[in-house]
Amino acid sequence: MKTHHSRRSFITKAAIAGALAPLSIFGQVYENAIDRTPTASSPSSLKITKVNCAYIQGSLFVKIHTNHGIWGCGEGVDAILGTYHLVKNFGDRIVGKNPLNVHRLFEDIRKSGVFQGAQAGMYVAVLSAIETALWDLAGKALQLPVYQLLGGKFRDKVRVYCDTALYQRHLPSPADFAAAAINARKMGFSAMKFDLDQANDPNKYDLYNWSASPAEVQRMYDQLAAAREAVGPDIDICADMHGRYDAVSARAVAKRMEPLNLMWLEEPIPAENIEAYKLIADSTSTPICAGENQYLAYGFRQMLEIGAVDIVMPDLQKCGGLGEGQRIANLANLYYVPFAPHMVASFLGAMASAHVCAAVPNFMILEWQSYFHTQPMFREIVSYDGEWVNNGFITVSEKPGIGVEINEAGMKKYAVAGMPFFE
C-alpha cells in the first residue's frame, strides 16, 4: 500500500508539473523531459536511498529503493558468483541520485570502473542487474512500461524458442531428440533448440581435445535429423555447441547440418576469436549465431564489421542491460543482422528481455527455458497475473516498469546459503 500511495502522489505531482506531457518518449527526448522538470516538482526529488540484493541459484536479483517508496528490480546471470560487495560498491555510487537518469547512472558506473574490469565479466553482469532495476523503477515512477521508455514497440508479442534441456550428459538417442521435438511442438512452440556438445561421448578422442571425431559428427547429425523428421520442415530447429570445439570441427558440423535447414548453429567455438567465426560462417550455408559471451556493444562491433556471424544473441542479463541490449540490436540492424537474445534467467529476466525485443526492428526470436514448465521454483519466486507464454509467444506487459514482481517469500526458500538476502 505504501508504494501504491507514494506512486499516486508522485504521478499527480509530476503531471501538475508537466513532466509527463511527452508520453511518446525516445532516447534523448526521455532524458530531456526529465531535465526540463521544474526543481520543485516530485520527479526531481526522487532519490535512490538503498541498493540491496539476493542470490537464487545462478541469478543475482538487485533491488533499488527510493525516498518515495518506489523500487525497481533487475536480474543478472552467469558472471555473478561472489559479487555481493560489487553490488554494494555500485549502490554506494548511485545512492542519493535520481534514478530516472538511467543512461547517466549506467555511464557513471561504467566509466568509473575502466581500471576495475568494466569491459566485461562480473563487472558488467552486475551492472546489467543494476541498469535493469533502474528501468523497472523509472517505469513505475512514470507509470509507463519499459518498452515505452525505450521508444515504443514494433510488436505486441515476442516469439520464443524452447530450449528443450535435453542435456547431452544423459547420452540422449535420436529417438529422445524426436520425442523432445514432438513435445515442444505440442506445447505450442514453433521453434526449439538442442545441445550437441557431449563431454562423455564414447567417440571423443579425449576430454581435452576440441576436435570432433567423425563418429561424433555423425552422432550430432543423427540426433538433429531425428528431430527434423519428427516435426517436419516448418518448425525452426537450432543447435548449441557451447563453444567446446575447434574451428575444423565447427566447419565440419556446420557443413554436415546443411540439409537439415537449421535456424542456426550456436557458438561452435569459444567466443574470443572473432576472426575464426568468420572462417566458419563463410564456409557454410548453415547460419552461425553467437554473442552470449560478449559484453557491451563494443563486444559486437568487430563481429558485425567483418561479418563473423549471421545472427547475434546477446544475453541482456549480463551484456550490459536493457539499454545496452537495444544499442546492440540497433548496431546489428545497420548490418541487416537479426537480433535473437540468449536468456537463462527467471521470468523477470524473460519479460525484461521481451521489452527490448519489442522495441527494436530487427528482432528475430528470444530464448525460452523448459525449466519454466518443470521446476516449481520459477513460479514461486515471481508474481505475475498474466499468462507466461502462449503458442510460442510472450505478450509484452503493459504494466509500469517490467511488469513482473519478485516474490521475496518464495525466493527466500531458494536463496543461496551463506549469502545476504536483500540486506
Q: What is the pTM of this model?
A: 0.90
Domains and CATH numbers, the chain: 2-144 (3.30.390.10), 157-399 (3.20.20.120)
* Cα 366 to chain centroid, rounded: 8
Determine which of 18-27, 137-146, 297-306, 352-361 has the lowest per-residue pLDDT on average. Answer: 18-27
C-beta separation of 368 from 343 below 8 A: yes
| Bridge partners for 405 per DSSP | 383
Q: State CA 57 to chain mean position distance.
A: 16
Please say if the pLDDT value at position 18 is more than 50: no
pLDDT of residue 80: 95
Q: Which three three-digit cell numbers place residue 241?
A: 555447441
CA angle 94, 95, 101 (to 5 degrees): 50
Percent over 70 (pLDDT), the chain: 90
pLDDT at 122: 96
Q: How far apart are CA 406 and CA 387, in angstroms?
A: 16
pLDDT in tens, 254-277: 999 999 999 999 999 999 999 999
Position 30 pLDDT exceeds 60: no
pLDDT of 143 higher than 60: yes
What values do phi and psi take at 226, rounded to 5?
-65, -40
* Residues 183-236 pLDDT 10s: 999 999 999 999 999 888 999 999 899 999 999 999 999 999 999 999 999 999
- Residues 392-411 have pLDDT tens digits of 999 999 999 999 999 999 99
**Cβ atoms 369, 161 nearer than 8 A:** no
Quickly state the pLDDT bin for 34 (edges 50, 70, 90): low
Instruction: Output the CA torsion 332→139→142→138 (10° steps).
Output: -90
Compute the mean pLDDT over every residue in the chain, rounded to the nearest whole number: 91
